Amino acid sequence: MPSPQPPAPTAAPPAVPSPGPLTPRVEVVATGLQAPWALDFAPDGRIFITERPGRVRVISGGSLLPEPWATVPAAERPGSESGLMGIALDPDFRTNGFVYIYYTYQEQGRLWNRLVRLVDRNGRGEVDRVLIDRIPGASVHDGGRVKFGPDGKLYLTVGDAAVGDSAQNPNSLNGKILRLNPDGTVPPDNPFPGSPVDALGLRNPQGLAWHPLTRQLFASDHGPSGGPPNCCHDELNLIEPGGNYGWPAVFGVGGAPRFIDPVLESGTETWAPSGIDFGVTGPVRGVLFVAALRGQHLRLVWLGLPDFRRVEAQQVLFQHEAVRAAPGCGCRAGRGPVYPDEQSGRPGLAAPRGRQASPAHVRPLRTGLPVNDAVFGRGPNLAG
Ligand SMILES: [Ca+2]
């Protein structure tokens, strides 16, 4: 008598989709923005966007509201990188209305950066309090990404403001990733007691993202822009609390034991990686999106098992397509579509030669899957 067939083993669903080319569909959700830099999503459906000249704009009900939600005295000039940059909504925005922004301002001829908390009152932003002030700034290397981590802490990237040695100075906030309580105080479990510094040795970090499975923090960093051999080596780093990422002593994969090497670097290419984020569901779960400014593309990075520290595959989208290049991108796949921006307002650098920077468009890449995720059409080699 034949024994009954054992039930077919049910394979555990894969933690993340296998690498495979993705084909995006692109849709414009707003036009008429000027140098948009970062964005975040309110639970009521509004999208908050910074414009580097100093305006916080809101898309509501599918339309860009004509009046800014808030205006700040940002120091932004043609050819500079400074101005209004990062924005993050409080995880409890629904109840407290807090919005955090970071911008460069000028005072007595010098440039500084500050992190400010605004509050949403009757559809307008008012200053609640300044959380950090007088971080030395410059026309380049101001960092600028602001995001909440899965631990409920507020993270901020600060560039070296063109003074490389400050990145190794533990008493300077430049060249660092900072970790704060939402009221600006220093969490007691920070790696350096009493200090907001979470990681050091960074040049101009502008991207922060947490892996949806491991919750580990990844950060992009711009490599040096000098002539060979000191050019390029843009980095994607896995951030350990208290980690030292080498700048200015080491850039790219340097192999020095006292520094942490990147998990990915650009070698002699220039990507100029700014905003990064992870997809969280569907075919983009665990895929890291990297907005490349000078590289003018959106880079997709698949990180592999067992610990998602190893780069398995990469894909480049929109290479040199000026309309879809990603300068200034507040790349945000985790809670909404990815939004590559069109043009950064930096003619001669991010914009193609001879093309005048113009008001930018914001374009999500949609996939039709859950509303709150980046949605992509499936390429022919994508399993499942
Ligand atoms: Ca490094």
Q: pLDDT tens-digit profile of 198-226?
A: 999 999 999 999 998 999 999 999 999 87
Give all strands (DSSP E) within 123-182, no chain letters: 124-136, 146-148, 154-158, 176-180
One-letter identity of residue 351: A
288 close to 300: Cβ distance less than 8 angstroms: yes
22 close to 382: Cβ distance less than 8 angstroms: yes
Range in 55-69, 78-92, 267-281 the model is least confident about:
267-281
CA of 134 to the centre of ligand 1 (A): 25
Residue 341 is predicted with a pLDDT of 43
Neighbours of 237 (CB within 10 A): 25
Using CA atoms, how far residue 356 sits from 78, 147, 278, 318, in Å, is 12, 31, 32, 19
Residues whose CB falls within 8 Å of the CB of residue 8, separated by 6 or more in sequence, listed in order:
none
149 close to 182: Cβ distance less than 8 angstroms: no
Residue 291 is predicted with a pLDDT of 84
Confidence band of 133 (pLDDT split at 50, 70, 90): very high
The 10s digit of each residue's pLDDT in 271-292 is 889 888 888 777 788 889 888 8
CA of 151 to the centre of ligand 1 (A): 25
The three-state secondary structure class of 94 is: helix
CA of 342 to the centre of ligand 1 (A): 28
Burial class (CB in 10 A: 0-12, 13-18, 19+), 123: exposed
CA of 287 to the centre of ligand 1 (A): 22
Residue 5 is predicted with a pLDDT of 61
Residues whose CB falls within 8 Å of the CB of residue 143, separated by 6 or more in sequence, listed in order:
85, 102, 113, 156, 157, 158, 159, 204, 205, 206
117 close to 98: Cβ distance less than 8 angstroms: yes
CA of 60 to the centre of ligand 1 (A): 39
Beta bridge mates, 377: 23
CA of 232 to the centre of ligand 1 (A): 11
CA of 257 to the centre of ligand 1 (A): 12
Tokens read off for 348: 């001669």
Confidence band of 381 (pLDDT split at 50, 70, 90): very low
Query: Which helix (H) or strand (E) segment is 121 a member of?
Result: strand 110-121
Cα angle 353, 220, 48 (rounded to 5 degrees) comes to: 80
Neighbours of 254 (CB within 10 A): 17
CA of 371 to the centre of ligand 1 (A): 36
Residue 283 is predicted with a pLDDT of 77
Residue 330 is predicted with a pLDDT of 56
Distance separating alpha carbons of residues 45 and 59, to the nearest angstrom: 9
The 10s digit of each residue's pLDDT in 362-379 is 433 333 222 222 222 222
Name the residues around ion ligand 1, CB cutoff 5 A: 245-246
The structural domains of the chain, ordered by start, are 22-378 (2.120.10.30)
Residue 11 is predicted with a pLDDT of 58
CA of 136 to the centre of ligand 1 (A): 21
CA of 362 to the centre of ligand 1 (A): 31
CA of 230 to the centre of ligand 1 (A): 13
Distance separating alpha carbons of residues 286 and 378, to the nearest angstrom: 16
Backbone angles phi and psi of 322, in degrees to 5: -55, -40
Q: What is the bridge-based pairing of β-strands 110-121 and 235-239?
A: unpaired
